[in-house]
Chains A and B, each alone.
Chain A
Amino acid sequence: MAGVIELSNVAIGFPGAVQPVLTGVALCLERGEFAAIVGASGAGKSTLLRVVAGLAAPARGAVRRNVATARDRRAIAMVFQEARLMPWRTVYDNVGLGLEGLDLPEAARHQRITDALALVGLGELAGRWPRQLSGGQRQRVGIARALAVSPEVLLMDEPFSAVDAITRQALQDELLRIWNATGTTILFVTHDIEEAAYLADRVLLLGGTPAKISETYVVPTARPRSRGDAELSGIVHRVKADLSDLLLDGGGI
């Protein structure tokens, strides 16, 4: 069966730059899986995600999105590193952003927004302005906004890197619960290797100059996982060792 997202031999460059940032990237995302991409900062993780989302075009190669087009949902949704809420919209209207323009009756729209807010535990705050929220709450709104369009694929770009450690753990567990409940395919970019191993079925290491997916680690650990799990720690160590090798080889940190 074909993957839901397939990248073959994709090269991505910045406009005007001679050297591509990423080259020869091949990636096949299985339906329903939770995949994490790790790599040093500047390795092109976010750029790769933007290409998968269709927000940027690859310089070479093919991006295939085997997703159904429907009039009442969006196939791909994205969660950004910063919550990126529109300050002039209430929490409710921020979550509804992706539903505008879809063929959805008002009652169904309301239901989707309410469900998405309930899923991230923010049902009470629907009427608030973004400035009245904490960093963790804002990030939850960003996740609810992505969930509201009931995407087949959820792309997440270091979504928890800007929140404190306690909130981050809570959000990680919440995300796993949501993933379980919705069955969405998730591609999750992070620089936090522990986070990647804890969350994902597969961890993809992005590295080198220009970068490509240099290693893939399958995380067999059964769910629910515990953060101190020895098997997870083993994977984390392997990824860290490979990452530092890459950095030494590439000569750059």
Chain B
Amino acid sequence: MKRDTLLSAAGVAGFLAVWEGVALSGLVPPTLLPAPSSLPQVFLSEVSLGIWQRMVGASLLHYSIGLVLGSLLGVGAGGAAALFPRADAAQAWVARLLRPIPPLAWIPFAIIWFGISETAAAFIIAIGIFWINYFTAYAAVHSVDRELVELAAAFGHGSLAARLAKVILPAAAPGILSGLRAGVGQGWMTVVAAELFGITGIGGRMMEAAGLLATPVVVLYMATIAVLYGLSDMLFVIAQRRVLRWQA
């Protein structure tokens, strides 16, 4: 366990060293491959100008709105489809039809409907998160042990609300949470793309910097996304462990 941690750390160090070595060797022009050692300086300058904070703040806002909307609607709709046979039948083909459309394919309509706006970015992020949660919540609720539902009914919890609260939600929690976690990740994947068409945020700033061939700035924001993803995933896992502490 400890040795694995050391090896993982060594892997990161090795990766950075090779990257730095190639960048410094002069084999590749610095605009094509900025050295990692150039990043701290770029970071400081972006922070001192207040750009980094503003971009991260804007992206966080899009991300949060998309995450909350997509997660709530996805879990709600997927759960309802699994709960009610009629809703299930009604959604089956619609879901199969809409699901394969990648979130980014909605960009034209996002712009037509919402303009180049924060709402458009949040909408695109929400779509990706929605489908992940829709299907995981559907599967999780669908596979809830019928015997536990019957048990709850035998002990006075037969109404829909009681069934939901006493059995279905807690029993489906592991599946729903794994979907939510995947959504937390997927959100960061789409946030950049959703902002690329000129919406203020990390993606917008990257696009701007790329246009000026300021590649170290691009790399800085790539790294920023990676760190934000890592942080949010870590926080989520901590919360998830708490909720699911009954599991082995």
Contact = CB atoms under 8 A, between A and B. Distances in A.
Interface of A: 53, 55, 74, 77-78, 80, 82, 84, 86-90, 97-98, 100-102, 129, 131, 145, 149
Contact of A84 (B151, B166, B173): B151
Contacts of B156: 74, 98, 100-102
Contact of B155 (A77, A88, A90, A129): A77
B147 A149 contact: no
Given A88-B170, A100-B166, A53 B148 contact: no
Given A88-B246, A131-B248, A78 B166 contact: no
A74 B173 CA distance: 29
Contacts of A145: 155
B153 interface: yes
A225 B124 CA distance: 73
Given A84-B147, A86-B167, A149 B155 contact: yes
Nearest to A87: B246
Contacts of A74: 155-156
A53 B151 CA distance: 11
Given A88-B246, A131-B248, A53 B154 contact: yes
B54 interface: no
Interface of B: 147-148, 150-157, 162, 166-167, 170-171, 173, 244, 246-248
A28 B152 CA distance: 27
If over half of B's interface residues share one DSSP class (helix, strand or loop), that class is named, otherwise mixed; here it is helix
Contacts of A86: 148, 151, 166-167, 170-171
Of listed B150, B155, B167, B170, residue having the most chain A CB within 10 A: B155
A84 B246 contact: no
A80 B151 contact: yes
Contacts of B173: 88
Contacts of B150: 55
B147 A97 contact: no
7 contacts: A55-B154, A84-B151, A86-B166, A86-B170, A87-B246, A88-B170, A129-B246
Shortest 7 CB-CB contacts between residues of A and residues of B:
A98-B155, A88-B246, A88-B170, A78-B154, A84-B151, A97-B155, A129-B246
A101 B167 CA distance: 15
A82 B25 CA distance: 68
Nearest to A129: B246
A145 B156 CA distance: 12
A77 B167 contact: no
Contacts of B166: 86, 97, 100
Nearest to A78: B154
A101 B154 contact: no
